[in-house]
Structure 1
Amino acid sequence: MSTKSQVLTLLMKQAPTFISGEEMAQELSLSRTAIWKAINELKKEGHQISSSRNKGYRYDSSDILSAEGIKLALAPTTPDLSITILDSSESTMKDAKLAAINGEPDNTLIVADIQEAPKGRFGRPFFSKAGCGIYMSMLLRPNQRFEEMAQYTVIMAVAAARAMDELAHLTTEIKWVNDIYLNGKKIGGILSEAMSDVESGQISNVIIGMGINFSLKQNEFPEELQEKATSIFSDRTPTITRNELIAAIWNQFYRILAQLPAEDFLDEYRQKSFVLGKTVSFSQAGTDYDGTAIAINERGELIVQLSDGSEKVLSSGEISLQSIK
């Protein structure tokens, strides 16, 4: 751990009280000069640190993304994450894929302050602004066969919805299969991809990406998105930090994984779905269909009953709902 990282972690642990430079130097076995340099570097990065001649230093709450801030909010039962924070990224999914190729370990998390070319399912672009969102991808190495793989997209949707509801006091909903909604507008989307070993038939890597509109004000969205999208704190000052929400989402995600198969996340997913019981439109094999969404099966697939009584099973990797009424 770098000197700067050690200092930041100690300041965050001590917050909101002051800690003297001498105490920090003793605890970290560093010189006072090294402490002073690290604090100045942190201030340049945007961290809010108060200084007092008599009291020392105090970390003031700020929404700067940091591996230290995320790790401090992780639950004891959550695995030790390898976290990389980027000022910007073309795509954290691409970054995670590169990490997989380079042999990075299981539970590698990449977080960016802004994505320059963010994409969702089927390559659809979405809006991104520095300091106002969460753009992250996790590399997992499950070594499972395809038929044994957990429904990671569904688990992630439940984990994200739980964390948002608990920390920001919201009532979110889930649009099958991968979008989080608030008051009828999208606040987040999830994308998962699997990489397989052809010889063993096992999944060698799973990458789960998520984009969340955190504190973007409603009038800051492009005009064409203002009726379709919103953010967690679109009309109020954030009551939590992005670091805290990121940690809470992964705490919930790993909690669900640890409790499988007893954890019935699908029931929670179904309860939060605003698609079930609605008339949906979709296209399959070049043909357009309308029907009623009647169920979500154990594989996370959507069951739609057509007007003639027949049923269509929609797989998340193949189908996108065109409308919901």
Structure 2
Amino acid sequence: MSTKSQVLTLLLKQAPEFISGEEMAQQLSLSRTAIWKAINELKKEGHHISSSRNKGYCYDRSDVLSAEGIYLTLNPETPKLSITVLNSSESTMKDAKLAAINGEANNTLIVADTQEAPKGRFGRPFFSKAGSGIYMSMLLRPNQNFEEMAQYTVIMAVAVARAMDNLTSEQTEIKWVNDIYINGKKVCGILSEAMSDVESGQISNVIIGMGINFSLKQQEFPKELRGKATSLFPENEPTITRNELIGEIWNQFYNILNQLPEERFLEEYRQKSFVLGKTVSFTQSGIEYEGTAVAINDHGELVVQLPDNSEKILSSGEISLSSINPAT
């Protein structure tokens, strides 16, 4: 761990209390000069650190993404994560794929303050602004069959929804497959991709990525998105930090995984769905269909009843819902 990382971790643990430079130097076995240099580096990165000649240093609440800040929010039951935080990334999904190719460990998390070319499902672009969002991807090595892939995507949606509900006053909804909505507008999109081992027929790697609109003001969205998208804090100042939300999302994700098969996340997924009972239209194999979303099965697939009473079962990555209307 670098000197700067050690100093930041100690300041975060001590906050909101002051700690003297001498005490920091003793605890970290560093010189006072090294402490002073590290604090100045942290201030240049945007961290708010108060100084007092008599009291020392105090970390003031500031929303700067950091691996140290995320680590401190993780529960003891959450596995040890390998976290990399980037100022900017072309795509954290690409970064995670490269990490998989390079043999990085299970539970490798890559977080970026902004994405230069963010993409959602089916390659759709979405809006990104530095300091106002969360863009992250997790590399998992599950060694499971392809039939279990849908489970990860549904679990992730429930984990994000739980984290937002727990840390804010908002109540989230889920649009099948993995879009999180607040007050009828999209606040988060989730994308999952698998890499397989041809010989074993198992999934060797799963990459789960997401983009979260955190504190982007409503008027800052492009005009064409203002009626469709929002953020967790579209008007007021955030009451939590992005590090806290990131940590809670992964706490919830691993909490569900650790309690399988008893964890009843699918029931929660169904309860939060605003698609069930509504008329949906979609395209499958080049043919357009319209019907009523009647169920989400145990694989996370959407069951749609067509006008002739036949059913279509839609799986992740296979279709895109083109409209959602109240059932008549």
Counterpart-to-counterpart distance in 1, 2:313 and 2:12: 49
Could you tell me which amino acid in structure 1 is paired with residue 181 of structure 2? Y
- Matched positions, count: 325
Deviates more, 1:144-153 or 1:38-47: 144-153
In structure 2, stretches of 5+ residues that fail to align are none
Match of 1:27 in 2: 27
Q: Is the 8 A contact 2:150 2:316 kept in 1?
A: no
Q: Which amino acid counterpart does residue 118 of structure 1 have in structure 2? A: P
Please state whether the residue corresponding to 1:151 is helix, strand or coil: helix
Matched, 1:157 2:157: yes
Change (3 A) 1:288 1:149: closer
Q: What residue in structure 2 maps to residue 174 of structure 1? A: 174
Alignment of 1:231-250 (within 5 A): 231-250=231-250
Q: Please show how residues 33-182 of structure 1 align to structure 2 within 5 Å.
A: 33-149=33-149, 151-182=151-182
CA-CA distance at 1:149 after TM superposition: 4.3
Whole-angstrom distance in 2 between the partners of 1:133 and 1:46: 16
Q: Could you tell me which amino acid in structure 2 is paired with residue 249 of structure 1?
A: I
- The one-letter amino acid of 1:179's match is D
Determine the C-alpha separation between the residues in 1 that align with 2:222 and 2:145.
42
- The residue type paired with residue 285 of structure 2 is A
Kept in 1: contact 2:150–2:300 (CA 8 A): no
Q: Is the 8 A contact 2:175 2:181 kept in 1?
A: yes
Cα distance, 1:87 vs structure 2: 0.4
| Distance apart, 1:51 and its partner CA | 0.3
Determine if the alignment matches structure 1 residue 281 to structure 2 residue 281: yes
Distance 1:144 1:298 in 2: 17
2:190/2:208 contact within 8 Å kept? yes
Could you say which residue in structure 2 is the equivalent of 1:324?
Answer: 324
1:145 deviation in Å? 2.0
Task: Mark the CA change 1:281 to 1:150 in structure 2 (over 3 Å): closer, same or farther.
Answer: closer
Alignment partners' CA distance in 2, 1:201 and 1:233 = 43
Q: Separation in 2 of the partners of 1:304 and 1:150?
A: 18
Q: Equivalent residue for 2:226?
A: 226
1:298 is aligned with what amino acid?
A: D
Match of 2:15 in 1: 15
Amino acid of the structure 2 residue aligned with 1:272: K
**Shift of residue 321, structure 1, vs aligned partner:** 0.4
Which range moves more in the overlay, 44-53 or 147-156? Answer: 147-156
Describe the SS at the equivalent of 1:257. Answer: helix
Read off the aligned partner of 1:145 and give its amino acid letter: N
1:260 partner amino acid: L
Deviation per CA, 1:72-99, whole angstroms, max 9, x where unpaired?
0001100111000000000000000000
String of CA shifts for 1:205-237, please: whole Å, max 9, x gaps: 000001000000000000000000000000111
1:300 maps to a residue whose letter is G
What is the CA–CA distance in structure 2 between the aligned matches of 1:174 and 1:94, rounded to whole Å?
25
The one-letter code matched in structure 2 to 1:3 is: T
Query: C-alpha distance in 2, partners of 1:224/1:48?
Result: 35
What is the one-letter code of the residue matched to 2:157?
A
Q: Give the ranges of 4+ consecutive aligned residues of structure 1 lying more than 2 Å apart after TM superposition.
A: 147-150
Instruction: Give the distance between the partners of 1:255 and 1:84, measured in 2 at CA.
Output: 22
> CA offset at residue 245 of structure 1?
0.1
Structure 1 residue 143 displacement after superposition: 1.1
Shift, 1:147, TM fit: 2.8
Instruction: Tell me how large the CA RMSD over aligned residues is.
Output: 0.7
8 Å CA contact 2:110–2:137 kept in 1: the answer is yes
The CA deviation at 1:148 is 4.1
Whichever residue aligns with residue 224 of structure 1, its letter is E
Q: Tell me, what secondary structure is at the counterpart of 2:321?
A: coil
Deviations 1:129-151 (A, max 9, x none): 00000000000011112234461
Residue 210 of structure 2: aligned partner: 210
Normalising by the residue count of structure 2, what TM-score does the alignment of the two structures yield? 0.98
Normalising by structure 1, what TM-score?
A: 0.99
SS in 2 for 1:322: strand
Matching of residues 231-310 of structure 1 within 5 Å: 231-310=231-310
Q: Distance in 1 between matches of 2:148 and 2:295?
A: 21
**Hey, what's the Cα distance between the residues in 1 that align with 2:247 and 2:109?**
11
Q: Deviations over 1:245-279 (max 9, x none)?
A: 00000000000000010001100000000000000
Identity %: 82
**1:174 counterpart letter in structure 2:** I
